[in-house]
A and B are shown apart, each in its own frame.
Chain A
Amino acid sequence: MDIQAEEHMQTDATTEVGLNGSENGKENVELAPVNPDRFRATNLYDRQIRLWGWEAQQRLMRSRLLMYGMNGVGAEVLKNLMLGGIKEITIVDDALVQEADLSTNFFVRREDFGQNRATASKGRAQLLSAACALTAVQGNVNILTEEWVRGYDLVVINGVSLTEAVRIGKVCRELRVPLFVSQVVGFHAFYVNDLNGLTFEVPPLGGEKPAGSGPKPKPKIIIDDDEDMPSTSRGRPTEAQVVCTDQAEESAPQSAQLEITVPDLASILTEDCARRSGLASPMPKRGGLKRIDPYLNMELILTFAAQKGRYPQYQYMEEDLKVLDHILGMIRPEGDTRVVEPNEFLRPDANFTCAIFGGTMAQEIITVLTRRGYPIFNLFYLAALDAMGSREYLQ
């Protein structure tokens, strides 16, 4: 083929590309880089789409979140969800910005002192994503009534009293809106969530490897509690069930459904529940490191909160330490070796606690919003400096 003929071919090809190509013809003529929209979602969120998939990303981009409490955890959660591409967030707070916020909430500055914490956070938070409809509301947690919660896909409550947590728990359960309630207690932090009635798409039992030769998945698998669990819990009906959805008989299922049934917040936010669940759990193994047990810590914190109407605070260090020691003496079983360090509760909120805890909670919120993956329910406990993060199942 001579050169002219080739050039002719090339012209033909150009025309065809121009006419039929997915990109517009003009760019082909000019030989400019094809670049539809650099900031399109598939580009912007590429690295996380490769983690949880495009479908989950689209669900996140349709989700609406209501969050009370712009403390350090609130700031971290807000940041992580806005970066992730969530559609809408409403933040509510009645606290005013003060010195302590400067070391945890990175959306506020010294010049915001005395202003409302939610409205002061909004401006800088909005810069993270223009696509997210962010609304800041000045108000007490008690304004979050049924009319308020309705229409949101998930509610997050940071740092409120036990009473308020229980009240909102009731509202959310009635509306079937998933709820996370978080509390930072010094270097420790925990959340309880109510995911009752939700169904998650999870990998089939057996983990990531398809169990080709293994036993066929049973249609219903009752959760198997730890073997070394004390007999008190044997025979207790377990409440979460995993059902394999794949109908294929021989091949391993691609995914399974996890339907969650859990008690409501009113029953799990009692010291009794923490004690019961603690007794039913194996002693923590920490390979020579401190044997921190979330249940005993929770029981202590919740008993304190029930007695005093607030959580332990560093401002009342001496007073609170006495009360905590007294309670611990009462609730601790004879010969118990689990580590509890009440002085760890009596610290100002630290940024690293908020970062680790807020990162975990934000990730779990995404899991719940997208209904994909195995969620951390219904208690997550973190002892930050000891790097102890643990999911516990309260019954």
Chain B
Amino acid sequence: MAFDPQTAHSIATAKVFMVGAGGIGCELLKNLLLTGFRDIQLIDLDTIEVSNLNRQFLFRSEHVGKPKAEIAAQSGLELCPEAKITFYHESVIQAKFNVKFFSQFDLVLNALDNAAARSHVNRMCLAADRPLIESGSSGYLGNCKAIFKGKTECFDCQPPAPQKTFPGCTIRNTPSEPIHCIVWAKHLFNQLFGEADPDQDVSPNTADPSLLVDGQNGTGHHNGAPHQNGSSPTGIASTVAISTREQAVSCGYNAITLFEKLFRDDIAYLLSMEKLWEKRRKPVVLDVQAILREPQAILQEPQPLDSDRSNGDGGSTAGDHEDKRVWGIGENARVFIRSVRGLKASLEKLGNLVWDKDDEVAMDFVTAVANLRSSCFGIATLSRYDIKQMAGNIIAAVASTNAIVAGFIICNAVQVLRGNQSGCYNIITRMFRDAVPATAPKRRIRTTGVSRLDVPRPGCVSCSERVEIGIKLRIASITVKEFEEKVVKGYLKMSAPDVELDDASGKIIISSDDAGEGKNRDKPLAFFGIQDGTRLKCEDSLLDDYEVTVTLHNDDHLAEDTLFLPLDAHVEGELAQPTVEPFEQAKGIKRKLEEEILTPGMSGNKRVALLASNSDAASEPNGNGNGLSEDVIDMSHRF
């Protein structure tokens, strides 16, 4: 035992809750047990994937497909039979894990991979007044810090890195980069094989503002106005969404017919919207029959690989990376046909599918579709490897970084149990493998950046005492759904909100019982008699007494792509300008990172912002399905 008897005793009797049993979680569970922790509860809703096995060492190949929480607990008990380990294979964002549940622990340890769950656990710990240690890793970077309610900065005090967003029109009408086609391909997957989301329409959009904006000569922006085939920016698009699916059903998912609809007819339709192509390169239609008639190019074109040391001890170690080859158009078409058939079969067998980057057929489909669409628009096609990176928002991950982070978590945890708050640090670690110092190798280079914990940010929506906020928005047009998703859940970070008028009527606007199914969700706020100056009471039903009063200020002059603006100088910039470099914002925040260990041009707090929202630890997809989470691509700022 490395500590004095008193510390050792607090460690042995401490009750800890570990949220996430993935990359950091596996290392952390081992460290907790070896350090002497004996009462551990852990939660993770994920199952084990092949690609986890390079670092999540509590899992082995025979465990693939099994729950991480269960196998981690099992391996933990094998390592230390005298420990008490309880596991939950489910989401932590649930009413059963309430404030009372959190209150039973001496310490909560986050080993998560997504901002939504991090933020939720942060809230629960604040409500239960329990210390939380937050951590994350991404490639060679890792960080770890402790959070004490009211004394130190909480998770939400740092503005989140803005999500990458693409206007709906770019996706549907005028893609110009591979990512636009990849987003479109994922939307198409959902339209054809998954839960159709009206926000993810894939058909040409006749309400494209660029049809209107430059229309000074006033020629018809509805040129060729095609009946129902369009959706308004307010999201009333269900007819179209159904119609894409319906068309697929009506042709029995015939891959050739679908190909012709998607890459010939729809493109031809877009071409008919001439206004779009006045300043853009015109797309071309694809002729599937011509493509399939073309003789196949040689499929396995060898990649140039390292020629050194080919000393023939190969086996599985030698050879190409098969996914790094860029397919020709013929191969894309064939993979499209093959994957449509495969997915059709799965759909018939299993019902609606959820897109998953680790599902080979689903990944083939997105690769082929994205490349075919890119071919239409003259955009470079990419390899399956690269498309997987973007579509799955894959974060590089390696065992060593997680081991280091999990070690530092223990350092902080021990100080928490000793009651030594000043011994807790905000730690950033990195390897400088890919970062030669800007000038030349120096005599001394820190591999660890460490600073004292910051004080809470005044006005933080999570940890400040203030419960009154003001928000500017367009009351006449913002829908209840948008208000709930973007303001109450997104900005106020409530998991299961109840919202009512703060007046004698107490009229309910949003109810957590409805779970997003309320019938008036597509109505604008004005429909409920809400006007400039109306106050709304927002409560999170998962938290005992977390209530925020929001005063609504009507502002019809908000920028077109801005849904709302908080009347809070600290946060304004971040929400008003979602496209701002995340690092630029983080710069403005005071932080005492005392050692510049990092590559010049990328300081410590930038990296914190980078890590905070998304990193390798454990999955908590929050109901969005693997890879399709809102972390990846948020479509909120349509138009």
Given A9-B289, A84-B399, A351-B34, A390-B255 contact (CB < 8 Å): no
Give the tally of cross-chain contacts (CB within 8 A). Answer: 331
| Complex: chain A residue closest to B431, CB-CB | A363
Does A6 make an interface contact (CB < 8 A)?
yes
Contact partner of A6 among B257, B396, B616, CB < 8 A? B257
Residues A39-71 near B (CB distance < 8 A): 39-52, 54-55, 58-59, 61-62
Interface range on chain A (Cβ under 8 Å from partner): 35 or more
Does B94 make an interface contact (CB < 8 A)?
no
Does B403 make an interface contact (CB < 8 A)?
yes
Given A39-B50, A40-B316, A388-B448, A367-B433 contact (CB < 8 Å): yes
A109 partner residues in chain B, CB cutoff 8 A: 79
Are B55's CB and A47's CB within 8 A? Answer: yes
B443 partner residues in chain A, CB cutoff 8 A: 225-226, 229, 277, 280-281, 392-393
Kindly state the separation between the CA atoms of A106 and B334 in the bound complex, as whole angstroms: 49
Shortest CB-to-CB span from B222 to chain A, Å, is 30
Are B60's CB and A127's CB within 8 A? Answer: yes
Contact partner of A13 among B337, B600, B601, CB < 8 A? B337
Are A83's CB and B54's CB within 8 A? Answer: yes
A32 partner residues in chain B, CB cutoff 8 A: 342
Given A356-B408, A363-B140, A83-B399 contact (CB < 8 Å): yes
Are A84's CB and B54's CB within 8 A? Answer: yes
Are A207's CB and B447's CB within 8 A? Answer: no
Kindly state the separation between the CA atoms of A221 and B436 in the bound complex, as whole angstroms: 13
Contact partner of B445 among A6, A10, A13, A391, CB < 8 A? A391
Does A330 make an interface contact (CB < 8 A)?
no
Kindly state the separation between the CA atoms of A20 and B333 in the bound complex, as whole angstroms: 13
**Number of B residues, CB within 8 Å of A:** 109
Shortest CB-to-CB span from A122 to chain B, Å, is 16
Given A47-B396, A62-B309, A225-B443, A35-B50 contact (CB < 8 Å): no
Are B429's CB and A62's CB within 8 A? Answer: no
Does B560 make an interface contact (CB < 8 A)?
no
B79 partner residues in chain A, CB cutoff 8 A: 106, 109
Contact partner of A384 among B394, B395, B407, CB < 8 A? B407
| Complex: chain A residue closest to B450, CB-CB | A387
Kindly state the separation between the CA atoms of A254 and B427 in the bound complex, as whole angstroms: 32
A41 partner residues in chain B, CB cutoff 8 A: 316-317
Shortest CB-to-CB span from A142 to chain B, Å, is 30
Kindly state the separation between the CA atoms of A348 and B8 in the bound complex, as whole angstroms: 13
Residues B586-635 near A (CB distance < 8 A): 592-595, 599-602, 616
A280 partner residues in chain B, CB cutoff 8 A: 443
Given A44-B53, A51-B139, A386-B450, A358-B440 contact (CB < 8 Å): no
Contact partner of B345 among A31, A79, A83, A224, CB < 8 A? A31
A55 partner residues in chain B, CB cutoff 8 A: 305-306
Contact partner of A374 among B64, B402, B427, B432, CB < 8 A? B432
B423 partner residues in chain A, CB cutoff 8 A: 385
Contact partner of B403 among A76, A208, A386, A390, CB < 8 A? A76
On A, residues with C-beta under 8 Å from B are 6-7, 9-10, 12-14, 16-17, 20-23, 28, 31-35, 38-52, 54-55, 58-59, 61-62, 76, 79-80, 83-85, 87, 102-104, 106, 109, 127-128, 130-131, 187, 202-209, 221-226, 229, 240, 242, 256, 258, 277, 280-282, 284-289, 347-356, 358-360, 362-364, 366-367, 372-376, 380, 384-393
Between A and B, 21 residue pairs with Cβ closer than 8 Å are: A7-B254, A22-B331, A31-B345, A33-B346, A40-B316, A44-B51, A46-B394, A80-B403, A84-B54, A103-B1, A103-B34, A202-B436, A226-B444, A352-B414, A353-B407, A355-B27, A356-B408, A363-B398, A364-B431, A385-B414, A393-B444
Question: In the complex, given contacts A7-B254, A50-B394, A355-B31, what are 12 additional A-B residue pairs having Cβ atoms less than 8 angstroms apart?
Answer: A28-B338, A41-B317, A44-B50, A48-B398, A51-B398, A80-B399, A84-B399, A130-B61, A205-B440, A288-B592, A289-B425, A360-B447
